[in-house]
Structure 1
Amino acid sequence: MPPPGILRLLVNGEIVSAKGYEYDNLYIHFFLELPNNWSSLPFQSLSGVTQTCRTRTLGKDNVAFFSYPFSFESFFRKEDRKEDSLPQWPVLYFEVLSLDFWQRYRTEGYGYLVIPATPGCHSLTCSTWRPLQGGTVAELRRFFIGGAPELEDSSYVRVPGTFKGDRLSRFGFRTETTGSVTFILNCVQHARAFVDASTLKKRRQSVLDQLGGFSQQGSVYNVLEAFQRARRRMQEARESLPRDLINTTTTLAPESTA
């Protein structure tokens, strides 16, 4: 059980397949980036590399089936008490590469996915792109000797909008759309607030409510709970009235309506 005010996030995922890429013998390098207020265990590895997988033709696409499992464990602590503040979720960045017979590798595409904020099983397909260097010489170099333009920082793939906010667009940067990668994520959220809500029979669904914060849903639930309490008080007051008064009110009601 995590301490109060801490949300524990467990992600058991699988890289299912990749399709639509130019070359064969694909493998994927991936890593998880944790935004502010998120942390992980010191011995927890947040990156990995799949095995090299050959493709096979299915319809019009060449598909590589990895079925590569991975798991992450991270912790979220809410420090900003503002009402309109929303937590940022971890992002999984990945790079698809190909390897030929001469051990030459080529960058086939970059992509990312944001870890879903809701628990459960999620199947996600993410499109990728790669930097493009114009000219025939660059294409001949890519074909004969391998290699291709690479990103110095893989998090640049998430543009516009990053955690640091220091990059705004890819305007003027030539890219080419490539294939796509399919993931299956099983997300588990673990927090003491879940147990407290179950004990007190309160409905809390958003992460901010589970961590004791403020949200619009929490306000709605408070109004509904107040209405239920008022309704119970009215029923108790009616039951405490004398039976003669209740029978008299019931008898006079038809006459007054007539």
Structure 2
Amino acid sequence: MAEVHIIGELSQSKDFGQQHLFCKWYLQIGNNWRLLSGKKEGQTQVSSNEFEDICKWSYPLDIHLATSGLQGWPKIYIQVFHLDWVGRSHLYGYGVVTIPTHPGQHELDCYTWRPVGNLRERFVQYFMGGGPQLKDPHLILSTTDRYKLNTEAMGVVTFKITVVLRHFSDFGVEY
């Protein structure tokens, strides 16, 4: 079987306009893929920086996958949350990044967005916190239904990863 090894870190977030952020991440793979080692999901610590608009997480990623086909290439989807002064977590963005298909070191920027509600929901969100969320977060992986959402752009999450491919040439895949 061909193998993909993803080593690196979920590095930082910027341009969110808030402090006290944390990120949940999930690995999405196709049916032909199998996780050999590592985790398919995780969560960073809450990070805050009072002097810059950057929260540094440096959360390690080490995922080893095996595959019998290229369909369903790995993607990582994320949810960024803001922790308010009361300790409540509020959704601050969704995002998806596709793992590069060629080996080497990569710095990937994942641009995030969040759903926008109607005027009443925005008013409540401003004073009470919270805001609209997707019932099924896996919807962000579907390109057919995502265009129907009313959204606003949020910040950027940076991944610094190294991709190692093994035995792909045995299956006639050149890179």
TM-score higher than 0.5: yes
Q: Following TM superposition, by how much is the alpha carbon of 1:44 offset from its aligned partner in structure 2, in angstroms?
A: 4.3
Check the 8 A contact 1:106/1:142 in 2, yes or no.
no
**Are 2:131 and 1:148 aligned?**
yes
Check the 8 A contact 1:54/1:64 in 2, yes or no.
yes
In 1, Cα distance between equivalents of 2:140 and 2:129: 22
In 2, Cα distance between equivalents of 1:47 and 1:172: 27
In 1, Cα distance between equivalents of 2:21 and 2:80: 7
Check the 8 A contact 2:140/2:146 in 1, yes or no.
no
Q: Deviations over 1:68-114 (max 9, x none)?
A: 11211110113xxxxxxx54311101011000121111111100111
Check the 8 A contact 2:116/2:150 in 1, yes or no.
yes
Task: Please identify which structure carries the higher strand content.
Answer: 2
Q: What is the aligned-residue RMSD (CA, Å)?
A: 2.1
Q: Following TM superposition, by how much is the alpha carbon of 1:10 offset from its aligned partner in structure 2, in angstroms?
A: 1.1
- Find 2:72's aligned residue among 83, 88, 106: 88
In 2, Cα distance between equivalents of 1:34 and 1:170: 19
Percent of counterpart pairs with the same letter?
30
**Are 2:156 and 1:180 aligned?**
yes
Check the 8 A contact 1:32/1:90 in 2, yes or no.
yes
Specify the alignment match of 1:75 in structure 2. 66
Specify the alignment match of 1:195 in structure 2. none
Specify the alignment match of 1:203 in structure 2. none
Specify the alignment match of 2:32 in structure 1. 37
The residue identity in structure 2 corresponding to 1:77 is S
Q: Following TM superposition, by how much is the alpha carbon of 1:40 offset from its aligned partner in structure 2, in angstroms?
A: 1.1
Instruction: State the number of aligned residues.
Output: 175
- Find 2:48's aligned residue among 43, 54, 58: 54
TM-score by length of 1: 0.62
The residue identity in structure 2 corresponding to 1:211 is D
**Are 2:121 and 1:130 aligned?**
no
**Are 2:141 and 1:158 aligned?**
yes
Worse-matched range after superposition: 144-153 or 13-22? 144-153
Q: Deviations over 1:16-49 (max 9, x none)?
A: 11111143200000010111211113x7421000
In 2, Cα distance between equivalents of 1:21 and 1:142: 16
Q: Following TM superposition, by how much is the alpha carbon of 1:154 offset from its aligned partner in structure 2, in angstroms?
A: 2.2
TM-score by length of 2: 0.89
Change (3 A) 1:124 1:44: closer
In 1, Cα distance between equivalents of 2:157 and 2:62: 17
Which ranges of structure 2 fall in alignment gaps of 5 or more residues? none
The residue identity in structure 2 corresponding to 1:50 is T
Three-state SS of the structure 1 residue aligned to 2:139 is helix
Which ranges of structure 1 fall in alignment gaps of 5 or more residues? 1-5, 79-85, 161-167, 192-206, 218-258
1:214-229 paired onto structure 2 within 5 Å:
none
Q: Following TM superposition, by how much is the alpha carbon of 1:57 offset from its aligned partner in structure 2, in angstroms?
A: 4.3
In 2, Cα distance between equivalents of 1:32 and 1:151: 18
In 2, Cα distance between equivalents of 1:55 and 1:8: 38
In 1, Cα distance between equivalents of 2:136 and 2:150: 16
The residue identity in structure 1 corresponding to 2:64 is E
In 2, Cα distance between equivalents of 1:73 and 1:57: 37
Q: Following TM superposition, by how much is the alpha carbon of 1:146 offset from its aligned partner in structure 2, in angstroms?
A: 2.4
**Are 2:170 and 1:211 aligned?**
yes
Check the 8 A contact 1:22/1:108 in 2, yes or no.
no
